[in-house]
Amino acid sequence: MKCPKCGKENTNGAQICDSCSCNLTPGPTGELTQKTKISKMSIGAAGLAGLAVALSIFVNPTLAFSVALLGIFTAITSIARIRKSKGQLIGKSFAVVAVIFSTVHVVLLSYWRIDAAPLPNDYTISDIRSAQPEYNQSYELLNSLADEDEDSLGAPAIELSEKDVKNLEEISKVFNLKENNYSKITEVLKINTENINQAWKNAKKGRDIIEELNTLPEIADLTEPDIEYELPFLKNLRRLVYLYRAYVCLQSCQGNENIAVKELLKLDNVFRRLNWNARSLVAKLVCLACFAVNIQTASFITNNAQTSQDSLVLLSAHFMPLTNEQVSLRNALIFEYLMCKNELRKIYRESKMKYSFFSPLKLNSTFRLHKNFCDRWIAVEENRAKVEELTVWPTIYPKLPVKIDSDCNFPWYYEVYNPIGCLMVGIMIPAVDRVFEIKTKLQIHSDLLQILLKTILGKEISLKARAYSYEYIIDLRKKEIFSPGPDGEPYTEDDIKLLINPEVIGLVPE
């Protein structure tokens, strides 16, 4: 019997061809039939295509890419075998679908892995405003304010005892009360006269450091942009501010206005010089907070009816309204960007992403995204209406818009492209909206103090508001001059206030 498939002669009665295993049994029509089966390789190729998709989503794109390539090879091999089987093997459609699916997957993965180009003219540490090198020793002076034992309840570095620290914190509460007034603060200061004078005497070492810093035209901040940076001196610097406020206000109450004004201006000079070169956002916020305390202290002296005209003139000349440049966050924004950049590079290198064919962190794209964020806010500070942004996409990608909203959310398509970059930038970028609100409130406080001083000195004043409303409001009945807060409505919780003593401005509430 001759095999219809391969043509080999077989013995009569044979049911299967000895050469190709073709079925030699006649079918219902009397013709010989071939035995067919589905190619296991084609099914395997389809399975590999599906597995590659799952791996790319849930496990690892590099492994998914390898599985997809294996799926393409398996599918092509399966198609070749099916063709050679002359009908014995079926399942070609599975293999074709697997080839198409895996090929598209490989192309998409290869397209997805492309990063943006390196940044041109990127920020460096030299872009941060710094003190001249000859004043670098001032940074050592600042660090001498730091305690060796950070858990100490006292402040050994500035020679304040634990009791001194607790007393100062307790006295500070009266300045932070929403309904505080001049007479209430005066009463608390007089009760604590002995404690304040003792703390002032004990803190001679800290005061000597302030004295020395005050002699320098510039104060340096040499903090490196590393995520583990430390500024241990800020803790005791804050304590010194509380001490100076209590002591200066007490001296004012006791009629020693010359001492009070001299010590206040000395302290404020130190913070103004540090503020210019402060690098980190933390250091900048501490400077802004201390400005607020010093404005409050100056307001207390101003509200003392015994304060002389000469002292008021000195305060008025020193505490001019803070300019946008003085409270600028440019240094801090660049510092935070460089810190984020250094940390991302470290993660990229130490997690071995650098050596991975597919990295979920697109390093250059992430840098571009964060730099655009910084540039936009710097442009706002400098009153520039437009800023040229860098594209965060590779050259061959469509240039879809990518912006970070106020809640640190990104467009979904960018999160798909750069998931780790979105996560890291969302964690590391500062809450600039909140910081801008803080510095705006500080500037308003400086405006209110200047209005109060000019009113007492009989100079022309303007009540034109800096933000949130058209004009500042003087309310003699409530003994305050204030501005509506961010809600724009007066007499609400967010009002920005400065206490006043109606007697010193020659006005009596109706």
Centre a 10 Å sphere on the Cβ of residue 95 and count the other Cβ atoms it contains: 26
Read off the pTM: 0.80
Eight-class DSSP state of 323: P
| Residue 185 · residue 174 · CB < 8 Å | yes
Tell me what percent of the residues of the chain surpass a pLDDT of 70: 88
Mean pLDDT of the chain: 85
Q: What is the pLDDT of residue 75?
A: 74
| Residue 291 · residue 237 · CB < 8 Å | no
The more confidently predicted of residues 16 and 74 is: 74
pLDDT over 60 at 507, yes or no: no
Q: How confident is the model at residue 39 (pLDDT cuts 50, 70, 90)?
A: confident
Q: How confident is the model at residue 508 (pLDDT cuts 50, 70, 90)?
A: very low
Q: What is the pLDDT of residue 272?
A: 94
Q: What is the pLDDT of residue 1?
A: 61
In whole angstroms, how far apart are CA 441 and each of 133, 293, 362? Answer: 33, 13, 38
CA distance 91 to 456: 96
Structure tokens at 113: 């892995």
Structure tokens at 2: 């001759």
Q: Using one digit for the tens of pLDDT, what is the confidence trace for 271-299?
A: 999 999 999 999 999 999 999 999 999 99
The residue type found at 103 is T
Q: What is the pLDDT of residue 510?
A: 46
The residue type found at 309 is Q
User: Which span out of 82-96, 269-283, 422-436 was modeled with the highest average pLDDT?
Assistant: 269-283
CA distance 5 to 11: 16
Centre a 10 Å sphere on the Cβ of residue 210 and count the other Cβ atoms it contains: 23
Relative to beta strand 473-475, strand 480-483 is antiparallel
Q: How confident is the model at residue 18 (pLDDT cuts 50, 70, 90)?
A: low
Structure tokens at 103: 């090929």
Averaged pLDDT, 388-399: 89
Helix (H) or strand (E) holding 200: helix 193-202
Q: Where are the alpha helices (DSSP H) in 303-362?
A: 309-318, 330-350
CA distance 118 to 364: 5
Helix (H) or strand (E) holding 432: helix 432-457
Structure tokens at 353: 């992403």
Q: How confident is the model at residue 32 (pLDDT cuts 50, 70, 90)?
A: very low
pLDDT over 90 at 176, yes or no: no
pLDDT over 50 at 455, yes or no: yes
Q: How confident is the model at residue 351 (pLDDT cuts 50, 70, 90)?
A: low
Q: What is the pLDDT of residue 357?
A: 53
| Residue 322 · residue 442 · CB < 8 Å | yes
Helix (H) or strand (E) holding 259: helix 257-277
Q: What is the pLDDT of residue 29?
A: 47
The more confidently predicted of residues 107 and 329 is: 329
